[in-house]
Chain A
Amino acid sequence: MRSLGELDSAPGRRGDLASEIDIGVGHAPAHHGELLQGMFYDGSGRLRRALVTLPDPGRGSRAVFRPSERHWGIVGTPELIKVRRAAILALREFSGHPSPAKGGQIEITSNVPRGIGMGSSTSDVAATIRAVADYHGVPLSREEVGRLAVLAECASDSVMIDDRVVLFAHRDGMVVETFGHRLPPMVVVGCDTAPGSVVDTLAFPPAEYGDAEVGAFQVLRAAFRRAVATEDVALLGRVTTASARINQRFLPKPALEDLLELCLRLGGSGVQVAHSGTVAGLIFDAAQPGLDQGVHECMAGIAALGLELTGVIGPAPTAASIWPLAARVPA
């Protein structure tokens, strides 16, 4: 896997490589687990599994599609079954557009760690769909990419919907609610709570929630709505902490309470986790006094717990410029 510093951040638009015309290029960012995940009522009163993703714009996947009149080939890491499925699906989706392509080659370049809940596969899949669409000259909305990604991999994070904060039904490929245009200004110190272990998201069974939990999700959603609308990081942290605790029943993070204690001790707001992975994040209000020191102490505290840093996510460009290299784990 190559590390990409120069990823094209404009998804779906033709990059430099695409000037050759006979190829397509697509990009999608990664994420750092979920801020909220559970079962929620949609507009028609139906319960759906849904989540709010914490985007990690500093990481992502890039896909290059080279058409072939003969067959398919995937270049990148060998285990990209979902990418192949997404490419075939996308090609079928755009079959109405004139093209000599019967298959093609997908080249994936990514700096997203795999199997720890940072959306590596959705990132690959969304980038692939965009690359095939790019080749066909089809403009795809973010929602359409989301719908196709779910078709390709059954459950998809909402990394492709990067222009607003959404509650995304990750098995239905639809937006249940739009909370606002952006998350409150915050800094998230990320870590891997089980370094070395990998979660197989394909084999992981969906969580079964009880009536009381479904009720709690309604309340968490209302609180999250307010947190985004009023840019209240403290309230957002309470919501993510509650959501992470509910998930302890399904994919427990043994260090969760230690991380929460560390975060609150340093003036932070709460913890978030990957609900199908091992990463966790400690959330700090970007406007909090002594933020810089708090973040550095937090990084030291994570190391003292024997956990591995995954990076620091913050309101671009400030946080990225303050802690870009120190915190990043080599991809």
Chain B
Amino acid sequence: MSIRTSFDEATEAYQIPKLVRLAPNLYAACFTLMKMIPARFILRRAAADGHLEAGTVIAETTSGTFGLALAMQGVHLNREVILVSDPVIDERLYRRLTDLGAVVDRVPATSAGVVGGYQAARLQRLTEVKAEYPSVFWPDQYDNPDNPRSYVLIAELLLECLGQVDCLVGPVGSGGSMCGTTTYLRSVLPECRAIGVDTHRSVLFGHADGHRELRGMGMSLLPGNLDHRVFDAVHWCSAAAAYAATRQLHQRHALFMGPTSGAAYLVANWWAVRNPSVLTVVMLPDEGYRYQDTVYDDDWLRTAGHLGEPVPAEPVVVEDATRPEGAWTAFDWGRRTLAEVLAGARVPVPGAR
């Protein structure tokens, strides 16, 4: 009844994940660039609402894939994009961003030591940028409700392709992808379980802020788009475990993905094996190209002390969400708020249907 058609623009194609079966009860949503979903949605909506006039500059604080997605959409919209980033931004990503016409504004390395780290320094610099230009649009991925809202696209896709999703597993950063996708899935499947994957010393689920080796996951500031009540369970994954799982995903399934995808796969695979009658979907946010010289390079792993470290078979279940220890820990979040968890309070999980 319907035929396949072409995409109108590159970014429309980039936002569609490939849904791949990894096991009879485990499917992976493999993204080339997951952040394209909120970036495209937010900018197109801004354009439709008249917030992107000719000469309006798009400015955002990002050192990763959200900036890349904005820069790509900026090409389609013919608008200047200014990205305030860490000094440690990946050189190849930097070249790609500038080739797309984006201006990359790096905060000084000295800001690493202040409270909130680079993230706070970047927000400060963004405020300055906003004052420098007459008309600036700030996508604000951390607090803009259009970020989670944009993931209705994925909930639609999963329901049309699978009809049933009992558990969704994915890495958490801004909170947009996991909170948005889960919330929309639950409009049809209220009992769908959500497992968030974070990394040690990220403030998202109760750890104190500290040094994190794993990039693209974990935060130093709490984003408004993270609705903790969405999550049934939270896992914390070390860089070493994430790297090993990333390689395992490549070797077992020929999926060439980044380390946040590896961390999510580690948790999802464990869950799917333990729950064979349950259908699990794992979100794999980006591809492996940016990590060829690191995660996919044995010499680099050896130097970093990660080579030969076995992938843990199962997480250590912790009773206290605030303690960052071990390579892989899990906590029964129970759809509570952060305050409820920190207070040790128990609330009943909302019933099915």
Contacts and interface: CB of A to CB of B under 8 A. Distances in A.
A232 B353 contact: no
Interface string A208-227: 00011001101111110111
Given A219-B155, A260-B353, A226 B187 contact: no
A211 B149 contact: yes
Interface string B141-159: 0000100010010011101
Nearest to B145: A211
A241 B353 contact: yes
A235 interface: yes
Given A226-B160, A232-B163, A242 B188 contact: yes
A264 B190 CA distance: 15
Given A215-B149, A215-B152, A222 B157 contact: yes
Which DSSP category, helix, strand, loop or mixed, fits chain B's interface? helix
Contacts of A226: 159-161, 163
Given A219-B184, A223-B160, A238 B189 contact: yes
Contacts of A178: 1
Contacts of B163: 223, 226-227, 230, 232, 235
Interface in B149-208: 149, 152, 155-157, 159-161, 163-164, 183-185, 187-189
A170 to B, nearest CB: 22
B152 A220 contact: no
Interface in A124-180: 178, 180
B160 A242 contact: no
A219 B157 CA distance: 8
A242 B157 contact: no
A239 to B, nearest CB: 6
Contacts of A232: 163
Contacts of B157: 222
A44 to B, nearest CB: 13
Interface residues of A, number: 24
Given A260-B353, A264-B353, A219 B1 contact: no
B185 A219 contact: yes
A235 B353 contact: no
Max chain B CB contacts within 10 Å: which of A180, A216, A221, A232? A216
Contacts of A260: 353
Contacts of B187: 215-216, 219-220, 242
B149 A239 contact: no
Given A238-B188, A242-B187, A242-B188, A218 B353 contact: no
Given A218-B152, A235-B164, A223 B353 contact: no
B159 A216 contact: no
Interface in B42-88: none
Contacts of B188: 219-220, 223, 235, 238-239, 242
Contacts of A220: 187-188
Contact of A219 (B145, B152, B161, B353): B152
Contacts of B161: 226
A212 B155 CA distance: 13
Interface in B224-282: none
Contact of A216 (B145, B164, B184): B184
Interface in B333-353: 353
A171 B145 CA distance: 30
Interface in A183-238: 211-212, 215-216, 218-223, 225-227, 230, 232, 235, 238
A260 B352 CA distance: 12
B17 to A, nearest CB: 15
Contacts of B152: 215, 218-219
Contacts of A211: 145, 149
A226 B160 CA distance: 5
Contacts of A180: 1
A223 B149 contact: no
Max chain B CB contacts within 10 Å: which of A215, A216, A232, A238? A215
B149 A219 contact: no
A59 B219 CA distance: 61
A227 B163 CA distance: 8
A202 B122 CA distance: 56
Contacts of A230: 163
Nearest to B150: A215
A241 B352 CA distance: 13
Contacts of B159: 219, 222-223, 226
12 contacts: A215-B152, A215-B184, A216-B187, A218-B155, A219-B155, A222-B156, A222-B159, A232-B163, A235-B188, A238-B189, A241-B353, A260-B353
Given A220-B188, A238-B353, 10 more contacts: A180-B1, A211-B145, A211-B149, A215-B152, A216-B187, A223-B159, A225-B160, A235-B163, A235-B164, A260-B353
**Pairs of residues from A and B, 6 with the lowest C-beta to C-beta distance, nearest first:** A216-B187, A222-B156, A222-B160, A215-B152, A223-B159, A219-B155
